[in-house]
Structure 1
Amino acid sequence: MSRLSGEPGPVEHPSEADLDLDADLFMRKMLRDLTGLLQDVVGLDEAEGYINSVGTSVGRWIEDKYRAEMGGQDLDPTRIAEVFVDLKRRIGGDFYVISVTDDCITLGNRACPFGDMAQGRDALCMMTSNVFGRIAADHTGYARVELHETIARGDAGCRIAIHLSPDGAGPSDGAREYFRLDPDLRENGG
């Protein structure tokens, strides 16, 4: 008997199946599994390197979109923080501003865009690091991103610092530095 008759039982056609499956879930699952495979095969450091490359490309693409919509000018730290929060909201995160100074943006996050799929996939955090680093560096000339807490590592939320000046202490373990790209290289995909 089919579900169409109101009684439990197997469906007669796949389109009648009540599946939790859509393009977004499929893509997140695929990215999670690819990241897990990379971490398992080449190790976390190397996996982060691969994700770093993808994140740089995605960061450029996103930065170009926001720059075009916001007048093409460099943004100040407050506006950059607003872009970060808006971007993550659009892709399913729940980021919020903890503080903004001329030298540092600190953000918190209550929900990972990858949801539970982020657990144990620390390399996925390189997407956030690279996108934030790329955007900040292309507006201010420099960014150093520190992932102090992450949902992927089992923390209750994320706490991320984006330093906007190379002055002071160098990068801590796991921090990544980003520098403004030459506009000619950006236009040619370099």
Structure 2
Amino acid sequence: MENQINQNIERFADIVVNHDREEFLATLVGKLAGTLQDFIGIEESKGFLTLVGAEVGEKMSDDYRTALDVSRLDSGQIAAALVDLQTRINGAFEVVDIDQRRIILRNGRCPFMEHGARRDSLCQITSSVFGRLTADNNGYAKVVLNRTIAAGDGHCEVVIFLDDSDPRAIQYGDQGDEYFEDLTKLPEELAS
């Protein structure tokens, strides 16, 4: 019996299937989002995934600040951190435009691969990670997903407003999600 098990293990080691860690995790997240959307609805799924994304965004923000040995990232560093994060998880984000009040990013490859197709709720993870990381460093963020691969647009376009009084942000009205700095999590000297 042991010999047969070893032969099967050797046989399986030689077959070609895409079951690496990245594919497994992308499948897991895609199926989780799909199940949530199917059972509780897309809006409720987005709410749940917003909470998850915010937690991830907070950790990523802390990681980048620690790595750069800074207390806050400036707008250029925020944009670079968002692109770097997505690159590390197999996204293909690039900065299209940046000024002191707005960052525009474009993405040509969903980090959730084909599992992101028709899973609009997964885009909420991107929005909340970007929003939390930006607000933790800038005090405020409004994230607007103008285009998404999940919606069939062929690419993502994400606009991140850094100033709530920016007329360009105001024109979007209720579209997009706003994020604010959580002052309870700042060191005392920054919170005052």
Q: TM-score by structure 2 length?
A: 0.86
How big is the shift at 1:13? 3.0
Indicate the SS of the match to 1:88.
Answer: helix
Which residue number in structure 2 is paired with residue 90 of structure 1? Answer: 88
What is the rounded CA distance, in whole Å, between the counterparts of 2:30 and 2:119 in structure 1?
A: 7
Query: 1:143 touches 1:162 (CA, 8 Å); kept in 2?
Result: yes
Which residue number in structure 2 is paired with residue 6 of structure 1? Answer: none
How big is the shift at 1:113? 0.5
What is the rounded CA distance, in whole Å, between the counterparts of 2:132 and 2:172 in structure 1?
A: 16
What is the rounded CA distance, in whole Å, between the counterparts of 2:67 and 2:154 in structure 1?
A: 34
> What does residue range 104-123 of structure 1 map to in structure 2 within 5 Å?
104-123=102-121
Unpaired segments ≥5 residues, structure 2: 1-7, 188-192
What is the rounded CA distance, in whole Å, between the counterparts of 2:63 and 2:37 in structure 1?
A: 31
Alignment-mate amino acid for residue 181 of structure 2: R
1:30-82 Cα shifts (integer Å, max 9, x gaps):
11011001111111100000100110111111111001011122222111111
> What does residue range 17-96 of structure 1 map to in structure 2 within 5 Å?
17-96=15-94
Say which structure is richer in helix. 2
Query: 1:142 touches 1:177 (CA, 8 Å); kept in 2?
Result: yes
**How many residues matched?**
177
Query: 1:66 touches 1:83 (CA, 8 Å); kept in 2?
Result: yes
Indicate the SS of the match to 1:13.
Answer: helix
Percent identity of equivalent pairs: 37
Which residue number in structure 2 is paired with residue 125 of structure 1? Answer: 123
What is the rounded CA distance, in whole Å, between the counterparts of 2:151 and 2:177 in structure 1?
A: 17
Query: 1:171 touches 1:177 (CA, 8 Å); kept in 2?
Result: no
Runs of 4+ that moved beyond 4 A = none
Which residue number in structure 2 is paired with residue 15 of structure 1? Answer: 13
Which residue number in structure 2 is paired with residue 184 of structure 1? Answer: 185
How big is the shift at 1:87? 0.8
Indicate the SS of the match to 1:144.
Answer: strand
Indicate the SS of the match to 1:155.
Answer: coil
> What does residue range 142-153 of structure 1 map to in structure 2 within 5 Å?
142-153=140-151
Q: Aligned in 2, Cα 1:11/1:17: closer, same or farther, shift over 3 Å?
A: farther
Q: Aligned in 2, Cα 1:11/1:65: closer, same or farther, shift over 3 Å?
A: closer
RMSD over aligned Cα, in angstroms?
A: 1.9
